[in-house]
Structure 1
């Protein structure tokens, strides 16, 4: 940060698709913008990003590397560090870093994404993002026509089974210890989705692939892919000091915002999975760009108000 200009127009916390897309938009708008990223992307375990126009199949790492280069190419700034606290500051916000100086910002964009709290079932964590999935739009094509075992691990599990049935006729629903409600049972049966009841012991993994789901009674039901519902939690703890609190949701938690990404805290926007639990990479990037446009417009109007006031003061002293 230049000594003669220590205040950033915008500090973006989080350097995933939403954060980098916002930074690109703001840098192209000639704003002083920096992205602080701790280097823990949610989709790091995945082999590829899917459904992203013109970049389908790109690896998560390559996508972020390209995004960083584009931001730098327009004069944006990137900081590899972790934000540990955010407070109101003299110019807007004071963003404290674990290993660096406190950054002063006029506006703040939260793009920290979310954390997946995985079910405590052996085999799930080891195969997460490979043989254990959660999103049909991210991975459905890749597992088409294979045997898919959907584990009842969250409130969206039945819905997941119904969705994955679009990609494969071989879907099995593992109900665990809680039998499906009558209406859910009817829906599953209508689509020829078999229901397996009984406690789930583990997802069976042989070598580097899922081979089945083992029940507590030692019965093994062979499947090629396991689907689970993680609890998706917005990474919002460090923003409590400025009044940003996550809202609880049956599937986890998120930060509420209006259609532009503006939160209830003046000067603070949010984009990506932190505010939309279901957003894929394409949606997160779009939300980042949209929030950036509104942040820039907000800054334009603030600068205009100051310019008008300065002219008034000058005239008053003549």
Structure 2
């Protein structure tokens, strides 16, 4: 007779225990290793330092093509000492004189006219009259052929010269700068030999110089038209005064300027008026003190091409503070 075996039912806990014993344990998942952080590459460049005016001048001089006859630009503060214009710069102190050859037959602009901007920061281009070395004591003579108020070396000064259909600015006997803007050329071309100081860069291609600027305002050399017996017409306070300007070599032009500007300085025969032409009328914002008497006295600079002076002028930089071109 077969024996019947009665099995005791497993509890739920027992089932779990058996399942745990008979099931292969899965290996624990390995944590995914993060790749090692790459070290940051060290910068091989540093932040650019704030460029000083002196450094900027050196950089500009290094890039700009050097015309051996054109002097470097030198910036400083102008004073009138015993009637003589003196420029104090970081490259030295210089008495400003005219270069030789600024007589009427050439119609160049005298460098001593810079005295119209006495007390201001100005930039000039000229060569020392005698041998010059950095750090030499005393005051050297600088034969200036171009000048402008302010710190910028981008300007041109000279006299208007008509050459065929071209309107040019004569800086010296062998440097005529063509005015390429048609409107400006038309405005200036009516006044041959007019003295001007214009802001903006001049370019040279081959042997040809050109000026493509069209400034809103610029300087012209003029005075009150006493030679024409014209009396200025006063305007009301805060209004406009009209007058006749005496320009170079017997020419004239009508001018309008604020009454306050006219009243601020006594006008003689040689000043630099700041403004622009509107047709036949010169609309002036104001004018400088006197540019002094015209003088034929000039000096032959023996230091044309002086490399030491060119380098010193480029490194000199400019005085601190603002120095606008305009009044």
Category of TM-score, reference length = shorter chain: under 0.3
Using structure 1 for the length normalisation, give the TM-score. Answer: 0.23
- Larger Rg, first or second structure (1 or 2): 2
Higher helix proportion (structure 1 or 2): 1
After TM superposition, the score normalised by the length of structure 2 is 0.22
